[in-house]
Structure formats: structure tokens, C-alpha cells
């Protein structure tokens, strides 16, 4: 059994950040365990190919239980199972979240004034304006090889819904622009690149892939290590100081429950002895619901329709340009669908292609406007189905169970249609494919939302920070009821942010390392 100072479980957005930052201290030894393998794959490195990762061995391939508010559908939830985790699978949009997100948490150390210095430390941002970081591990670039149609969306949205802005990444979020993305020279820039490439050169840093963590080991209520499975063998590693779980919004509460931290009655039902009785573990699951308006284009407009042509692969391989450089969500508009809102409640995503059911194809060139709802009221849960760590936990999003969420989606669809009907975007649109011109009334739109609504791949809040009795973690990311155990991923968020969740997840990892190194 090897002994380390710190053991980090999961190499995704939060885990890579906390592990790499801890390893900057040469006096400590850090072990990073990753259940998946390498990220050295074309569908990871080429931005436009990310949907080709779905349902493969680098995808955890979650499905929810039948969703009561969404037509009884079992909804697919991809999660990255490789170095970089879901930062190696996402659409690479870089959004910090609004100042009111962090101020609204009312947690010491998490106000906008507290977290802004960490974002500055994280970023190597294209905006050299003093409000964004320069020289940090995460490269953020203005999308370079976007389709001209994306500019038409920006212009139309600026005419009909929201002002044009160079900065849609915070602190107030409002505006429309070509997307800021975590891409460098037309290649995905995940936390595997930003953090782990440098960390792996350090002698005090150990990375083990294909290592499925089974549970946290305790001596009384002190976390002392982890048990994991690698190459068919069950093994253990000891931690002198702390264990940090960064297995994601599904994996982290699952591991806590397998380790005896969760609701006592639930743990007893699957044969696990309860160490800490806390019903908040796995509760409060939040996700950004998403609907997708697809439009066939007028003749002469192609977009990404022919992106599988081998010439575009050659362009990307040898020139780092062309259609495979696209992150698909090439432009974003952050809009308010009600006039009295403080912050935008929706992110509209524009792409020069057909996007439906996580990558289905259409017979003609299309463009898509997605409506991602940032402030949903519906909450779900994650629960271990059995005591077997190899079996994925049950997930229930409970998407659209709150009536207000459906009403918001209907407002957003109508606003997106207004943008699509505004020149110059209107000039290139031939017809609406989804939901189609026949779907007009509130009742028709509600039926369409419930039966075809998806999500934005942003699960959060399942091991949230909060006051005693209101969450799983304290404000320093320590698991309540035990010592030597912290969480650093989106499960720790008290509320889901007005943002794509990659940057907030990295923030949590950075802050976790900061707390540990300062003795907090």
C-alpha cells in the first residue's frame, strides 16, 4: 500500500485543478486516480467531434430514471470518462457565472470579490482588459474559425433581444457575441492540457488511470485513504492528510454513499452501514434544461452539413483550421425573458448545423438555436442503486416538474423565434424543422417541451456547500461529520450558476487547493 499526502479522485475540471495545484508544493506527494484512460483521441482533440464521444468507452453513459415531468422519458446524460473528465467532452464554452451567483450564496470566502482573483489566476484570456486573467493554465480564446452565419445570429439578436458585447462571461453576463471557448490553435484545451501536462512532470505527482475508486477508507471518522479497483485487482492507497473527491455531480455523491455518508434509511436499504446520516447527499440535483429550434437553410448555405468530408479532417490535421475547428455552439446570447430580472435567465446557443437528440442527423443543411434555462426550480437526486461500485447510481433529474420551468421554456422559444425572424438571420432561413410551424399555442409548446426537451450537460449541487443541516459541505469544501475529506467539483455548488459549468468547476478545484495550502 502506497502512502501519499493527498489523494484526489477524478481528473476532471475540479480534480485536475486541485491535484495539480497541490503538487506545486514539492514537499507533498499527490495521487490522482482516474477511472478512465487517455484523452489522446481525435474526437476529444478536434472541437467539432465531441458528440462522437457519446456512448463510447470514454463516456460514463448515464441514463436517468423515467422522468415524470418529461413524458416519462429516460434522458441520456453523457459524462467524460478519461483524462480531463467532462472538460474533455464538453462544447468548450467559457463562462464564469454572474457576480450575483457567488454573492447570493452567502458563504464566507465565496463572494464575487473572493472568487474573482481565482478566476484571474485560472485564465489565459483573449480579453486583455484587466477583468480577465493572463498567463493562467486555462486558455480562453474568441472562436476563430466560425461560420459567417454565426455573425448573422449575433446581429439579429442584438437587434431584437440583447446588446452586442465583447464580454459575455461575467460578472453581469448580459450580451451576445461569438463564443469564448477553451481552445488553443483549434484544439480543445481541457484541464488535462491546462493542469495535468505540467503536473505529470513533477516527481511528487502520481497519476493512475483506469482506477475505479470503490469507497473512502476511514479510521473512525477520519478519512485515511481509498479503496480502488485496477486491472481486476482491489487495491488501497493511504492519505496522510486528506482525500478529495472530484468525481462529478453523479460520481461524488455516489462515492459518499458507498462510503457510508448519506441518508441512513437509503444506505440500510442497500446494505451499507451508515457513518454519517445526511439526507442532503445526492439531493438538490440541478441541471439547465434545453430546447432546440432547428431551421433548414436557404439554398447556398451549408454550415456544418458537409463537415464529415475528409478534406476538412485534412485541413484540421495539417493546418489547424476548417470546420473541425468549430465547437458547434459558435455564438451565444444571454437574454432576459422577463424585464424585471437582475440577470439573464437564458443562454441562447447558435450553431451552423442541425442538433437534435445528442447528435442526430438531418437531410438538409440547418442552423440551430438552443435555449438553455439558467434558473430552473426543479430539483432531482442521485442515489446508489446497490452497494456494487461498478453499477452506476440511479439519477432522477425531475426536469420540468415545476410549472415555472415549463413557462420559462415557452417564453424562451417565442423569443428565439423572434430572433430567427429578424434580419439578417431571417434572410438565410427557409423553414423551421423543430418544433415546426404547427406548434404555436402554449399547450402545443408545453407538450413539445415536455416530450422533446433536453439538458445542457451541467449537473450540479448534489453535495452542496451550506450551513449545518442545509448541505453536505462547509464553506471550505470539507464533508460535514468527518475529517480529512473534501469535495471539489460541481456537486459542491450551493446553487447552479448562470453559466456553463466548466469554469465554475475549475474554480472550486482552485479554491479547494487554496484552502488546503493555507491550512483552512
pLDDT of amino acid 58: 98
Nearest to 510 by CA among 181, 165, 133, 154: 133
Whole-number pLDDT of residue 281 = 98
- pLDDT, one tens digit per residue, over 124-140 is 999 988 899 999 999 99
* CATH no. of 144-178+289-375+403-452: 3.30.410.40
pLDDT value for 1: 80
What pLDDT, on the 0 to 100 scale, is given for residue 355?
Answer: 95
**How confident is the model at residue 379, as a pLDDT?**
98
pLDDT greater than 90 at residue 161: no
Per-residue pLDDT tens digits for 259-270: 999 999 999 999
Residue 324: pLDDT above 90?
A: yes
Confidence of residue 467 (pLDDT cuts 50, 70, 90): very high
Tell me how far apart the alpha carbons of residues 29 and 7 are, in angstroms, rounded to a whole number: 9
What pLDDT does 472 receive?
Answer: 98
Q: What percent of the chain has pLDDT over 70?
A: 100
- The pLDDT of residue 310 is 95
Count of CB atoms situated within 10 Å of the CB of 377: 13
Q: What number is the average pLDDT over the span 184-199?
A: 98
- pLDDT range class, residue 520, cuts 50, 70, 90: confident
- pLDDT score recorded for residue 415: 98
Of how many residues is the chain composed? 520
Region of 185 (left: φ > 0; alpha: ψ -120 to 50; beta: rest) is left
Query: Using an 8 Å Cβ cutoff, are 291 and 371 in contact?
Result: yes
- Indicate the angle between helix axes 112-122 and 502-517, nearest 10 degrees: 100
Amino acid 166: pLDDT:
87
Residue range 1-19: average pLDDT? 97
- Which of 301, 315, 32 lies closest to 192 in space, CA to CA? 32
Rounded-to-integer distance, Cα 515 and Cα 520, Å: 5
Looking at domain 1-140+183-287+378-400+458-520, which of 3.50.50.60, 3.30.420.80, 3.40.50.300, 1.10.630.10 is its CATH number?
A: 3.50.50.60
CB-based contacts of 328, cutoff 8 Å, min separation 6? 47, 48, 50, 51, 91, 304, 351, 353, 355
Please give the Cα distance from 451 to 60 (Å, whole number). Answer: 24
Is residue 107's pLDDT more than 80? yes
Match 467532452 to its residue by C-alpha cell: 89
The pLDDT score that the predictor gives to residue 217 is 98
- CA-based nearest residue to 131, from 98, 171, 184: 171
Can you tell me the distance from the alpha carbon of 491 to that of 251, in angstroms, rounded to the nearest whole number?
Answer: 9
Query: What's the average model confidence in pLDDT over 449-471?
Result: 97
From 222-236, 350-364, 391-405, the region with the lowest mean pLDDT: 350-364
Question: pTM of this prediction?
Answer: 0.97
pLDDT, residue 244, reads 99
Q: How far apart are CA 438 and CA 90, in angstroms?
A: 33
pLDDT of the residue at 321? 92
As a three-state string, the secondary structure of 437-494 is CCCCCHHHHHHHHHHHCEECCCCECCCCECCCCCCCECCCCEECCCECEEECCHHHCC
The CATH 3.50.50.60 domain(s) of the chain lie at: 1-140+183-287+378-400+458-520
Is 309 a residue whose pLDDT tops 80? Answer: yes
Given a cut of 80, whether residue 170 has pLDDT beyond it is no
Where do you find CATH 3.30.410.40 in the chain? 144-178+289-375+403-452
Q: Say how many CA atoms lie within 13 Å of 281 toward its Cβ.
A: 29
Of residues 218, 212, 161, 253, the one with CA closest to residue 33: 212
* pLDDT for 409 beyond 80: yes
Mean pLDDT score across all residues of the chain = 97
**Which one-letter DSSP state was computed for residue 309?**
S
Going by pLDDT thresholds of 50, 70 and 90, the confidence category of residue 144 is confident
Is 125 tagged catalytic? no
User: Stretch 468-484: mean pLDDT, rounded?
Assistant: 97
Quickly state the pLDDT bin for 294 (edges 50, 70, 90).
very high
Rounded CA-CA distance 98/343 in Å is: 8
pLDDT band at residue 359, thresholds of 50, 70 and 90?
Answer: confident
Q: In whole angstroms, give the CA distance from residue 188 to residue 512.
A: 25
Considering the candidates 143, 254, 284, 458, report the single residue annotated as catalytic. Answer: 458
Q: What is the pLDDT of residue 171?
A: 83
Helix (H) or strand (E) holding 329: none
Q: What is the pLDDT of residue 496?
A: 98
- What pLDDT, on a 0 to 100 scale, did the predictor assign at position 371? 98
Amino acid at each position: 500500500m502506497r502512502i501519499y499526502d493527498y489523494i484526489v479522485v477524478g481528473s476532471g475540471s475540479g480534480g485536475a485543478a486541485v491535484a495539480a495545484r497541490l503538487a506545486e508544493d514539492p514537499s507533498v506527494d499527490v495521487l490522482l486516480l482516474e477511472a478512465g484512460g487517455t484523452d489522446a483521441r481525435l474526437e476529444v482533440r478536434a472541437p467539432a467531434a465531441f458528440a462522437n464521444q457519446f456512448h463510447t468507452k470514454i463516456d460514463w453513459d448515464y441514463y436517468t430514471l423515467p422522468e415524470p415531468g418529461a413524458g416519462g422519458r429516460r434522458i441520456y446524460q453523457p459524462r467524460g470518462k478519461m483524462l480531463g473528465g467532462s472538460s474533455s467532452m464538453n462544447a468548450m464554452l467559457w463562462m464564469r457565472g454572474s457576480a450575483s451567483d457567488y454573492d447570493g450564496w452567502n458563504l464566507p470566502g465565496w463572494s464575487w470579490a473572493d472568487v474573482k482573483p481565482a478566476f484571474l489566476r485560472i485564465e489565459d484570456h483573449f480579453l486583455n482588459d484587466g477583468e480577465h486573467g493572463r498567463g493562467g493554465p486555462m486558455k480562453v480564446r474568441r472562436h476563430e474559425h466560425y461560420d459567417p452565419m454565426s455573425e448573422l445570429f449575433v446581429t439579429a439578436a442584438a437587434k431584437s433581444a440583447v446588446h452586442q458585447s465583447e464580454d459575455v462571461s461575467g460578472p453581469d453576463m448580459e450580451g451576445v457575441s461569438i463564443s469564448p471557448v477553451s481552445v488553443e490553435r483549434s484544439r480543445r484545451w481541457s484541464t488535462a492540457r491546462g493542469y495535468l501536462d505540467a503536473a505529470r512532470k513533477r516527481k511528487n505527482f502520481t497519476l493512475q488511470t483506469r482506477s475505479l475508486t470503490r469507497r473512502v477508507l476511514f479510521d473512525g471518522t477520519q478519512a485515511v485513504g481509498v479503496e480502488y479497483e485496477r486491472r481486476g485487482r482491489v487495491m488501497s492507497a493511504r492519505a496522510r492528510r486528506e482525500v478529495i473527491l472530484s468525481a462529478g455531480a453523479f460520481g461524488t455523491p455516489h462515492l459518499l454513499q458507498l462510503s457510508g455518508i448519506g441518508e441512513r434509511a437509503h444506505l440500510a436499504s442497500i446494505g451499507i452501514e451508515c457513518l454519517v446520516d445526511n439526507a442532503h447527499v445526492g439531493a438538490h440535483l440541478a441541471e439547465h434544461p434545453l430546447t432546440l429550434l432547428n431551421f433548414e437553410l436557404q439554398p447556398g448555405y451549408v454550415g456544418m452539413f458537409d463537415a464529415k468530408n475528409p478534406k476538412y479532417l485534412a485541413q484540421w490535421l495539417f493546418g489547424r483550421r476548417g470546420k473541425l475547428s468549430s465547437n458547434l455552439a459558435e455564438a451565444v446570447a444571454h437574454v432576459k425573458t422577463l424585464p424585471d430580472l437582475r440577470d439573464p435567465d437564458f443562454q441562447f446557443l447558435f450553431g451552423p448545423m442541425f442538433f437534435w437528440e445528442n447528435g442526430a442527423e438531418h437531410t438538409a443543411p440547418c442552423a440551430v438555436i438552443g435555449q438553455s434555462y439558467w434558473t430552473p426550480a426543479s430539483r432531482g437526486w442521485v442515489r446508489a442503486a446497490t452497494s456494487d461500485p461498478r453499477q452506476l447510481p440511479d439519477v432522477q433529474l425531475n426536469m420540468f416538474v415545476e410549472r415555472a420551468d415549463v413557462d420559462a421554456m415557452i417564453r424562451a422559444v417565442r423569443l428565439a423565434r423572434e430572433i430567427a425572424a429578424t434580419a439578417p438571420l431571417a434572410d438565410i432561413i427557409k423553414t423551421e424543422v423543430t418544433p415546426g410551424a404547427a406548434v404555436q399555442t402554449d399547450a402545443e409548446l408545453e407538450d413539445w417541451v415536455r416530450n422533446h426537451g433536453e439538458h445542457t450537460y451541467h449537473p450540479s449541487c448534489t453535495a452542496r456547500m451550506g450551513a449545518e443541516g442545509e448541505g453536505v459541505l462547509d464553506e471550505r469544501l470539507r464533508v460535514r461529520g468527518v475529517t480529512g475529506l473534501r469535495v471539489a467539483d460541481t456537486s459542491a455548488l450551493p446553487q447552479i450558476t448562470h453559466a456553463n459549468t466548466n469554469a465554475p468547476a475549475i474554480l472550486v478545484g482552485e479554491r479547494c487547493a487554496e484552502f488546503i495550502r493555507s491550512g483552512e
